[in-house]
Amino acid sequence: MSTKRSEVDDARGAGGAAARQSDGPEKMPKTEMRESNWTPEQRAEYLHRRRGRNFLLLGALAGFCLLIYAIALVKLHEYGQLW
Amino acid sequence: MSESTVPRDLGGSTAADWFSLLKPRVMSLVVFTGAIGLIVAPTHLNPVLSFTAILCIALAAGASGAINMWYDADIDAVMHRTSSRPIPAGRITAQDALGYGIVLSCVSVLLMALATNVVAAAVLALSILYYVFIYTMWLKRSTPQNIVIGGAAGAFPPVIGWAAATGHISALPILLFTIVFFWTPPHFWSLALFASGDYERAGVPMLPVVKGARHTRVAVMVYSLLLVPVAVSPYWLGLCGRTYGASALILSLVFCYYCWGVLTDKQDAQGLSLTNNAPARAAFKYSILYLFILFGACAVDRFV
C-alpha cells in the first residue's frame, strides 16, 4: 500500500505534498484522491489534461529558444554584438 | 466530463486555465497601447526586436495578473464575476500561480533587456512591481482611490514601447501615460457602479461602496472632463497632427456625453440606478473603444 501511495503522491506533485502533510503519516489518502479508484473516464480526462499542459509547455520552450536564436541573429547582424 | 471529476491534487488544470491566469482580456489592451508606443516612436526597431518587446509587455502584464490572482484569491472567491477563475475554482493552487507569475516576470524583464535596452527593461520591471506591491497589496484593499493611483500601473505600456524603440523617455510617451492615467477612473468606476455588490461582498473599498453611487457618478463626470484637455494635449504641443487632434477632441466629448448619462441616470434617494445601470454599462463599453480608437489615431497620425 505504501508503494501505491508513493506513486500517487508522485503524480500529485507539490499539491500532493501539502495534502500528505495535513493528512498525517498514518492516514490513508481520501478515497476520491486515490488514482486506483478513478473510473476509466476520469483517468482519460486526467491524461488528456496533462497532455495538453505538456504540449503547451513544449510549445512555449521551443518558441522561447527560437526567439532567443532570432534575437541573437538580429543583434549580431545589425549591431555586431549581442549585448 | 465535468471539471470536478478529476481531483485538483491530481492535476485538474488545463492549458486554458494557465492561459486564463494571465488575464488575456486585460493583456490585449496593454499590448495594444504598448505597441502604439513602439509605433509612434521616431526610431525604427527591427521587426524581430519589436515583436519581442511587445511579447515582453504581454508577458509582464500576464505575470502581474497571475500574481494578482494569487494575492486576491480570497476576494475572487467571493465575487461572482471572478469566482470561476482557476484559483478560487480549485483548478490551480495559489502557490503554483505565484511561482508562474514570478518566473514570467523575470523572463519578461530579462528578455526585454536582451532584445532592446535597459531603460525599457527597467520601466517594465517598475510596472510589474507597481502593480503587484503598490496596487494589489497596498492600495486595492485600503483606499477608495485605489484605481486612481493604481491606474498608473496600466499606463506604463506606451512608455515601455517607446523606450524599447528609442532607449529613452520623452514628452509624447509621458502624455500617453497621462491619458491612460486619467482614463482609468471613469473606466473602472463605471464598472464598479454596476458591480458594486460584488465589491461590497468582498470588502474591497471601491468608490461606490465607500462614498456611494451618487459621489461616484460625479467623480466619473469630473475625470471625463479632465480627460478632454489631457487627450488633446499631444496635438496642442505639436507632438501629434490634426488627425489625432480631431479624433481626440471628438472621442473625448462623446465620452463626456456617456459620463453625463451616468451622472443623470434615473436614481433613488441613495443614488442607486433605477435603470439597472444601463448608462454606466454603456460608458464602460465606450471607454474601451475610446482608448483603442484614440491610440489607433495616434498611430495613424504618424503615417498621414
Q: Is residue B5 part of a domain?
A: no
B98 and B138 both lie in a single domain: yes
Q: Is residue B6 part of a domain?
A: no
Query: Exposed, middle or buried: residue B34 (CB in 10 Å: 0-12, 13-18, 19+)?
Result: buried
pLDDT at site A83: 65
**Structural domain ending residue among the three candidates B148, B169, B190:** B169
Q: How remote is the C-alpha of A60 from its chain's centroid?
A: 14
Q: Is residue B4 part of a domain?
A: no
Q: Is residue B108 part of a domain?
A: yes
Q: Is residue B123 part of a domain?
A: yes
Q: How remote is the C-alpha of B127 from its chain's centroid?
A: 12
ipTM metric = 0.78
Cβ-nearest to B49 among A33, A45, A74: A74
Domain boundaries along the sequence of chain A: 1-37, 39-83
Tell me the CATH number at B52.
Answer: 1.10.357.140
Q: What would the grid cell of residue B260 be?
A: 453625463
User: How do residues B124-153 score in pLDDT, each as one tens digit?
Assistant: 999 999 999 999 999 999 999 998 988 899
B268 and B299 both lie in a single domain: yes
B146 and B185 both lie in a single domain: no
B211 and B164 both lie in a single domain: no
B28 and B147 both lie in a single domain: yes
B195 and B149 both lie in a single domain: no
Rounded Cα distance between B185 and B146, Å, is 9
pLDDT at site B75: 92
B140 and B180 both lie in a single domain: no
How many CB pairs lie under 8 A apart between chains A and B? 70
The total number of structural domains in chain B stands at: 2
B120 and B52 both lie in a single domain: yes
Residue bearing cell 491610440:
B295
Residue bearing cell 499606463:
B155
Question: Helix B47-71 crosses helix B24-40 at what angle (to 10 degrees)?
Answer: 150
Q: Is residue B2 part of a domain?
A: no
pLDDT at site B10: 56
pLDDT at site A9: 40
Residues of chain B with pLDDT under 50: 1-4
Which residues of chain A does B8 touch, with a Cβ-Cβ cutoff of 8 Å?
15
pLDDT at site B136: 94
Cβ-nearest to A33 among B9, B48, B93: B9
What is chain A's pLDDT, residue by residue, as a tens digit (83 residues)? 343 434 434 433 434 334 334 443 444 444 445 667 788 888 888 888 889 889 999 999 999 999 999 999 999 988 777 66
User: What is the DSSP track for B231-264?
Assistant: HHHHHHTTSS-HHHHHHHHHHHHHHHHHHHHHHT
B151 and B17 both lie in a single domain: yes
Structural domain range at position B251: 170-304
B28 and B156 both lie in a single domain: yes
Best residue of A21, A74, A83 to probe chain B, by most B CBs closer than 10 Å: A74
Rounded Cα distance between B182 and B224, Å, is 8
pLDDT at site B2: 43
For residue B178, the number of C-alpha atoms closer than 13 Å in the C-beta half-sphere is 15
B261 and B138 both lie in a single domain: no
Cβ-nearest to B9 among A12, A42, A55: A12
B268 and B155 both lie in a single domain: no
